[in-house]
Copies of this chain bind each other. A is one copy, B any other.
Amino acid sequence: MYTIKDVASKAGLSQATVSRVINNHPYVSEEKKRAVQQAMAELGYVPNSSAQRLRNLKTKKIAVLVSRIVNPFFSQLVDAMEKRAAISGFQVILCNTRIDREKELEYFQLLKSKQVDGIIMASVENTWEVIEPFTKYGPIIYCNEYDPAARVTRVRLDQIEGGYIGTKHLLDKGHQKIAYCQGNDSSVSTNRRIGFLKAVTEAGITPEPAWMFKNIFTIEDGREIFRKLHALSCTPTAVFTGSDEVAAGIIKEAQQHSWRVPEDLAVIGFDDQPIAALLDPQITTINQFTTDIGITAMNVMLEIIHNPSVNKPQDILLPIRLIERQST
């Protein structure tokens, strides 16, 4: 492995001059600059980034925490973030928490030990009390998560609105008996439920506890939900799922039990994943403009890193939209 010293002696110059060339400093004569560049090329020299970081305390890396990378919403989000980051020469470290509090905490050490310049949390497992102490080691922002207690910048959708318009749509279609699925007790799920409850309450309906489900994430979870509903004496006529994957699972299982969708059971998804437009019936869903969220969040993070004084908690809301298809 060649070092800056090797380049310097090969070019017959000092390390300082080589360093200046590497970092594009002014006040280097064209002639020496060329000599250095040639020496670097001949040796195939690449600066040791650990040494650079030790000096600069900058890593040009951003950690993105997601709970389930296999969820297309998250992989699309990470894709968008990575694209934006690359333009500014930053790399993304994918941190897959698997909905695990402890694992999330481990990832915070990345910030503490200066392995990343900032953290974007596209999922949040721990409470703000636990997370807050880490903010002094570097910027942390929330993306698509909302915790009223958290004093951080967040880029998000109005999930209350999302829960509301989705439920309102089912009510408008004449449904009175509506089941409700959600993931864990994240802010996203909690706010969607607030929206859901707001809509049904406005319609003068009392939500049925037996139709409210938690910790529902996957296609298989969706299938399970249908089997549970099917076993009840009194079944709902519609389901708000909070996820296209869950919706897909419910729909397939329902069809296998010879139920018609939406006639026997209306199902509404969330996210507008590719799958939503492919099923038969196509799934009515709520579009989150995933790419926009990712790019916006990364923009904010890069801005904060570039100019830490802008790191005042902001609340950036992006639009949300119902996409009516055939499953409702």
Q: Which residues of A contact B (CB under 8 A)?
A: 1, 44, 46-51, 53-54, 59, 69-70, 72, 75-76, 78-79, 82-83, 86, 91-96, 98, 103, 109, 112-115, 133, 137, 219, 245, 248, 252, 255, 274-275, 277-280
The complex places the Cα of A130 from the Cα of B44 at a distance, in Å, of 14
Count of identical protomers in the assembly: 2
Q: What are the residues of chain B within 8 A of A70 when measuring CB–CB? A: 72, 75-76, 79
By beta carbon, the residue of chain B nearest A71 is B75
The complex places the Cα of A141 from the Cα of B112 at a distance, in Å, of 31
Interface-central residue, A46, A95, A248, by most chain B CB under 10 Å: A46
A109–B46 CB distance below 8 A:
yes
Q: What are the residues of chain B within 8 A of A133 when measuring CB–CB? A: 44
Q: What are the residues of chain B within 8 A of A109 when measuring CB–CB? A: 46
The complex places the Cα of A112 from the Cα of B44 at a distance, in Å, of 9
The complex places the Cα of A133 from the Cα of B103 at a distance, in Å, of 36
A274–B96 CB distance below 8 A:
no
Q: What are the residues of chain B within 8 A of A1 when measuring CB–CB? A: 114, 137
A48–B279 CB distance below 8 A:
no
The complex places the Cα of A278 from the Cα of B48 at a distance, in Å, of 49
B219–A278 CB distance below 8 A:
yes
The complex places the Cα of A115 from the Cα of B49 at a distance, in Å, of 7
The complex places the Cα of A174 from the Cα of B294 at a distance, in Å, of 48
* A–B complex contacts, Cβ < 8 Å, 13 sampled: A1-B114, A48-B113, A49-B113, A69-B78, A70-B72, A70-B75, A72-B75, A83-B96, A91-B93, A248-B278, A252-B277, A275-B275, A275-B278
